[in-house]
Chain A
Amino acid sequence: MRSFSYQRASDPQAALQALAVTAAATTPLTEASSQPLAGGTTLIDLMKLDVMRPERLVDINPLAGNWAQVDLDGGNLKLGALAHMSQVAGHAEVRQNYPVIADSLKLAASPQLRNMATLGGNVLQRTRCSYFRDVSYAECNKRNPGSGCAAMDGFNRMHAVLGTSHQCIATYPGDFAQALIALDAAIEITSKSGPRSMSFAEFHRAPGDTPAIETVLAPGELISGFAIDGRWPRSVYLKVRDRQSYEFALASAAVALDLQNGVINDARLALGGVATVPWRAREAEAVLKGQKLDDALAERAADAAFADARGRQHNAFKIALGKRVVAHALKKAIAMEI
């Protein structure tokens, strides 16, 4: 960890002011010299490991007054970027109307972390790739563009099988983002030029040739919240991991169904633990729509979700595992008593 300056922002304008940077527009967000500080559970961790080296932290927690709402108004859901994971996970109406959101948060990290961590920070959490997090490895295209990828032929059990590139196979590790992407959430962004809203599905960027660029968020911009249209009581988040709690997913599925007379009217499916970004499995959704779920259909949907998956030495098992998780999550969603 290197020395840095610390500043508390009293309101959004002050925060944006403090974050205004001189960095070139091509600088990846994560390399920007000023970084907002929310719960710090990702950022401070990576600073201690010397992976992130900001010169200045702008503490945005004082903005919680405006940006920490959990609002179920008029059939839609609005979540503030500074709401804590624990706050949303335990929110009775969220649990009832959006179980996939509540569970994606509840099954993440530990109680201590969920009490610290915010939703905005959560969707910006960075990969757990061991080679990325240990700066003594020279080869990491994400940390050190053009240096190579130590994980490609190294120990890659936790790595992605979907959305990979020849540059990077790092898994997006979070859970909550799968729920957001499945529910077609919008993400609200504030910058000096004012607020804007975009589809959350467009927010993360697959590694491609530029694994250092993880999202479309630009330096100096802040996430203020998330919005979801409609309610999704028939939704589940299924997470499979090596231990029962406090561990990232080997494979997970966020499923939301609109069921009418046993027929799947609308299906939403997102995958975690297996992809480089929060992963919407649209091919699988297409297989499901207009059908009644049985074992064969669940299997076909799972196959469709992983049709393009590519495994490497230690992570190939995730393809078969991921399919099972999808099929099982679909059955759980169907079986829900609403």
Chain B
Amino acid sequence: MSTAAPEPKANMGQPIPRYDAVAKVTGRAEYAADVPLANPAYAYLVTSAIAKGRVDSFDLDEARRVRGVIDIITHENMVKLKDAKLFSNGGYMSTTVQPLKSADIAHDGQIIAVVLAESFEAARDAAHRVKVSYSTMPPTASFDSQGTTAAGAKGQLAQFKEDPEVGDFAKGFDSAEVKVSAEYETPTQHHNPMELFATSCAWNGDQLTIYEPSQYVYGLKNGVAEQLGVDADKVRVINAYVGGAFGSKGSVTPRTAIIASLARRLNRPVKLVATRDQGFTIATYRAETRHQVKLGAGRDGKLLALRHDGHEISSRPDPYAVGGTKTTTRLYACPNVASMVSIVRADRNTPGFMRSPPEVPYLFALESAMDELAIELNMDPIELRRINDTTTEPIKGKPYTSRSLMACFDEAAKAFDWSKRNPTPRSMSDGDWLIGYGCATTCYPTQMAPAAARVRLQRDGRVRVQIAGHEIGNGAYTVIAQAAAERLGVPIENVSVMIGDSDLPPAPVAGGSNSTASTCSAVMKVCDQVRQRLLKAVMPEEGVINRAKETVGVGRTPVTDAAHGDQALDREKAFDALGVGVVEEYGEWKPEGAPLDSFHAMYAGHARLIGGPEFGDKIAYAFGAEFVEVRINRNTREIRVPRLVGAFACGHIMNPRTARSQLMGGLIWGMSSALLEATEIDPRNARYVNDNLADYLVPVNADVPSVEVILLSEQDDQVNPAGVKGLGELGNVGTNAAVCNAIFHATGQRIRKLPVRLEKLEI
């Protein structure tokens, strides 16, 4: 197991402990639902027990009689909220289904009533006594159900722009000597962050404060303002810490505006903590997907043709799709490529982002197929990747800003002892246990979005950084503090960081692994503005502006008080020359190639992410290689994973400790996704069956004996001033395929449908 604080290599920051570590382990960290409110009313949701139909009537008599009940809100007495657009279509919302608007029910677990009471207990008690009669229509649950409709994703949603293709796939495939054609499936999954979906709303006059775990406080503020029809400047979202999110807290769910409007109606704060099972239906999830992959190669292993078709489930009203072909069609050199993503509609809640939304399902398919191709070729799977490694993507011929895929494979293979692998399936065992080794490529687009920050430096060297970033366990506080400390040449202890508040300068959604790159780039830029003001004060005659600019983008070399190494800046002298107590600067940063309206959109709560395959004339990705050992008990077929090893190259590593933690969590989650996690849907009624943490399995400590994370030194000056490639979503991408590839090696059986449960093994 690698140590918690890996030694920094070249182009890595210090592995300083987390800024918020003590607050978290002592319970001092205040999460949204912890914030004390004056005399709150408590809300408890009542959700639908059917997936399609309507509410005929409510019988609320018994519920109303529970002592402490204030009111029960249904579509019959709810104020009207304004409709709002889907996040993926340029809006803010996780769904366009507007609960409590009418008697109609569009999915299982839709909010149909809210009980308001003097205590949580009374609200819950009453909610259990609400009686509902429904008119039920037969719902469509998933792919194989009756009543699905399918159509290409292109043209349905703004976020999905292309079905990448190049050359002539049919011809290339026909002429290939070695072919693989296979179908793969991934299941429905839910994020299940530890912190539940909580919302507290308090009005002070026409000012609304929302305490809610969010990955995007500006999005939430603007989205709720739009739904309520109020000025966004009057809405403030606060969440100093988010207890896990994984995408589920990135877009605005309908509950927030509902709670806000009820708080206004009662004229007192209202607090909601939705239950675990409600979380399965009032927010988003990773929808099930199906893939067909065709690979054609020459005997030498060179890919000649690649086709990847994906089908994804979405809700009736909303065309959500993750569309991972933009990555899988570009990963390897290949002259003839085709792809198509289709959306299949069912009577479900609208899916949404979940950690590495496109890459997890789509790379599972491609990286499984690559392993199958390696078997067909009788070739080491690492060598197959090496043969097809490329520095330019095949669709448009754009160069990767940097790509250390094979270096990752080599490092990980060494650490894993891959050379001890006997390539013949079912050839390795230890007593009752069959042993399998498998590996896969992992990758994730490097993305950035505009961000703003305010930085204040005091004469005594103390620094305060303000930016509406998000601490979702990603280490945001820590790396932002590090960026400022390095840039201003002060000890890390001198820096205090304020994030998680929409009254601060805007930062983008903490999604798409763009946070560190975006927030640190903005913070570094504003630190440079501070330095520049000081420099001007003491060196007015020199080309100060250029000099300060030079240092933008050199985050990897800690900057001290020196202007640029040659002349030391005496901070106190500079302050005295300026005659001020503090120097405070506000600044905006946007990535190269960001659209013109980026800053405007940033304040309106729309993050314009740039990067990945859409990065001007370049393409930017972080890469890694993931290795898995599985053991399968001959007698019981139990599947265990004693070892996970991953090597990753992600540009400048701000902090090897927090980076390792993210990647380790990713590897574990990837293993979990391969072996355990699946939301079961009852096809008869389109309802989630195992909607709790006892039945929706995630690994426990005993399932994860050893995880090794190797961070490679990589430098990329093209991606952003911080030189950072996001890595939060890199770790869990390749693992699904690596596990299945290892299972094939252990057993000779190829599993193409996740998760792999022991009953699927025919050993």
Q: Which residues of A approach B to under 8 Å, CB–CB?
A: 1-3, 50, 128, 130-131, 133-138, 150, 153-155, 157-158, 238, 240-247, 250, 317, 321, 324-325, 327-328
**B635:A128 contact, CB within 8 angstroms:** no
CB distance from B690 to the nearest CB of A (A): 6
Among B241-249, B356-364, B697-705, which stretch is in contact with chain A?
A: B697-705
**B690:A324 contact, CB within 8 angstroms:** no
- A149–B702 Cα gap in the complex (Å)? 35
**A50:B128 contact, CB within 8 angstroms:** yes
- A143–B676 Cα gap in the complex (Å)? 29
**A250:B635 contact, CB within 8 angstroms:** no
- A158–B692 Cα gap in the complex (Å)? 15
**B20 sits at the interface (CB 8 A):** no
Contacts of A128 in B (CB 8 A): 694-695
Interface of A is mostly: loop
**B640:A321 contact, CB within 8 angstroms:** no
CB distance from B758 to the nearest CB of A (A): 7
CB distance from B637 to the nearest CB of A (A): 7
**B684:A246 contact, CB within 8 angstroms:** no
Least CB separation from B699: chain A residue: A243
Interface of B is mostly: loop
Report 18 cross-chain contacts, Cβ distance below 8 Å, ordered by A residue. Answer: A1-B124, A2-B128, A128-B694, A128-B695, A130-B690, A137-B49, A242-B757, A243-B697, A243-B700, A245-B702, A247-B700, A317-B759, A321-B636, A321-B637, A324-B636, A325-B636, A327-B635, A328-B636
CB distance from B92 to the nearest CB of A (A): 29
**A153:B125 contact, CB within 8 angstroms:** no
- A128–B697 Cα gap in the complex (Å)? 14
- A12–B757 Cα gap in the complex (Å)? 47
CB distance from A51 to the nearest CB of B (A): 10
CB distance from B612 to the nearest CB of A (A): 34
Given the known interface contacts A154-B682, A155-B689, the answer about A245 and B703 at a Cβ–Cβ threshold of 8 Å is yes
- A328–B701 Cα gap in the complex (Å)? 26
**A242:B694 contact, CB within 8 angstroms:** no
Contacts of A250 in B (CB 8 A): 758
**A244:B702 contact, CB within 8 angstroms:** yes
17 A-B pairs besides A136-B49, A153-B684 with CB distance below 8 A are A2-B125, A2-B128, A134-B691, A135-B128, A150-B682, A154-B689, A155-B680, A240-B758, A242-B757, A242-B758, A243-B676, A243-B700, A243-B702, A244-B702, A245-B700, A247-B697, A321-B759
Residue in A133, A138, A154 with the greatest tally of chain B CB atoms within 10 Å: A154
Q: Which residues from 694 to 740 on chain B have a C-beta closer than 8 Å to any C-beta of chain A?
A: 694-695, 697, 699-703
CB distance from B477 to the nearest CB of A (A): 30
- A50–B128 Cα gap in the complex (Å)? 7
**B638:A245 contact, CB within 8 angstroms:** no
Contacts of B118 in A (CB 8 A): none
The 8 lowest CB-CB distance pairs between A and B, nearest first, are A317-B759, A244-B702, A136-B49, A245-B702, A328-B635, A50-B128, A155-B689, A240-B636
Contacts of B758 in A (CB 8 A): 240, 242, 250, 317, 321
Residue in A50, A128, A136 with the greatest tally of chain B CB atoms within 10 Å: A136
Contacts of B124 in A (CB 8 A): 1
CB distance from A173 to the nearest CB of B (A): 10
Contacts of B635 in A (CB 8 A): 324-325, 327-328
- A136–B636 Cα gap in the complex (Å)? 35
Least CB separation from B277: chain A residue: A134
Residue in A157, A242, A325 with the greatest tally of chain B CB atoms within 10 Å: A242
Out of B49, B122, B638, B676, which one reaches A240, CB within 8 Å?
B638
Q: Which residues from 311 to 331 on chain B have a C-beta closer than 8 Å to any C-beta of chain A?
A: none
CB distance from B683 to the nearest CB of A (A): 9
Out of A1, A247, A321, which one reaches B128, CB within 8 Å?
A1
Could you give, for residues 25-45 of chain B, a 1 whenever the CB lies within 8 Å of some chain A CB and a 0 otherwise?
000000000000000000000
Least CB separation from A318: chain B residue: B759
**B121 sits at the interface (CB 8 A):** yes
Least CB separation from B126: chain A residue: A2
CB distance from A3 to the nearest CB of B (A): 6
Contacts of B122 in A (CB 8 A): 3
CB distance from B491 to the nearest CB of A (A): 41
Least CB separation from B755: chain A residue: A242
Out of B636, B684, B703, which one reaches A243, CB within 8 Å?
B703
Q: Which residues of B approach A to under 8 Å, CB–CB?
A: 47, 49, 66, 121-122, 124-125, 128-129, 277, 635-638, 640, 675-676, 680, 682, 684, 689-692, 694-695, 697, 699-703, 757-759
**B684:A242 contact, CB within 8 angstroms:** no
**B700:A244 contact, CB within 8 angstroms:** yes
**B699:A155 contact, CB within 8 angstroms:** no
CB distance from A306 to the nearest CB of B (A): 15
- A2–B47 Cα gap in the complex (Å)? 18
CB distance from A160 to the nearest CB of B (A): 15
- A150–B676 Cα gap in the complex (Å)? 24
Contacts of A240 in B (CB 8 A): 636, 638, 758
Given the known interface contacts A155-B682, A242-B697, the answer about A3 and B689 at a Cβ–Cβ threshold of 8 Å is no
CB distance from B162 to the nearest CB of A (A): 38
CB distance from B118 to the nearest CB of A (A): 13
Contacts of A242 in B (CB 8 A): 675-676, 697, 757-758
CB distance from B110 to the nearest CB of A (A): 12
Contacts of A131 in B (CB 8 A): 689
Contacts of B47 in A (CB 8 A): 136
Contacts of A153 in B (CB 8 A): 684
Contacts of A245 in B (CB 8 A): 700-703
**A244:B49 contact, CB within 8 angstroms:** no
- A317–B695 Cα gap in the complex (Å)? 18
- A275–B138 Cα gap in the complex (Å)? 33
- A243–B672 Cα gap in the complex (Å)? 10
- A250–B633 Cα gap in the complex (Å)? 15
Contacts of B66 in A (CB 8 A): 3
- A245–B700 Cα gap in the complex (Å)? 7
- A138–B129 Cα gap in the complex (Å)? 14
- A326–B636 Cα gap in the complex (Å)? 10
- A201–B125 Cα gap in the complex (Å)? 38
Contacts of A155 in B (CB 8 A): 680, 682, 689-690
Contacts of B128 in A (CB 8 A): 1-2, 50, 135
Contacts of A154 in B (CB 8 A): 682, 684, 689
Residue in A243, A247, A250, A324 with the greatest tally of chain B CB atoms within 10 Å: A243
- A238–B633 Cα gap in the complex (Å)? 13
CB distance from B661 to the nearest CB of A (A): 22
Out of A136, A246, A321, A325, which one reaches B700, CB within 8 Å?
A246
Contacts of A150 in B (CB 8 A): 682
Contacts of A327 in B (CB 8 A): 635
CB distance from B120 to the nearest CB of A (A): 10
Residue in B675, B695, B702 with the greatest tally of chain A CB atoms within 10 Å: B695
- A50–B275 Cα gap in the complex (Å)? 13
CB distance from B440 to the nearest CB of A (A): 22
CB distance from B432 to the nearest CB of A (A): 8
Least CB separation from B132: chain A residue: A136
CB distance from B224 to the nearest CB of A (A): 28
Least CB separation from A243: chain B residue: B703
CB distance from A46 to the nearest CB of B (A): 12
CB distance from B241 to the nearest CB of A (A): 24
CB distance from B232 to the nearest CB of A (A): 37
Out of A130, A138, A246, A324, which one reaches B689, CB within 8 Å?
A130
CB distance from B608 to the nearest CB of A (A): 41
Least CB separation from B109: chain A residue: A136
- A299–B531 Cα gap in the complex (Å)? 79
Least CB separation from B67: chain A residue: A3
- A325–B635 Cα gap in the complex (Å)? 7
Given the known interface contacts A1-B125, A317-B759, the answer about A244 and B640 at a Cβ–Cβ threshold of 8 Å is yes
- A181–B47 Cα gap in the complex (Å)? 42
CB distance from B464 to the nearest CB of A (A): 41
Contacts of A1 in B (CB 8 A): 121, 124-125, 128
Contacts of A135 in B (CB 8 A): 128
Least CB separation from B757: chain A residue: A242
Contacts of B121 in A (CB 8 A): 1, 3
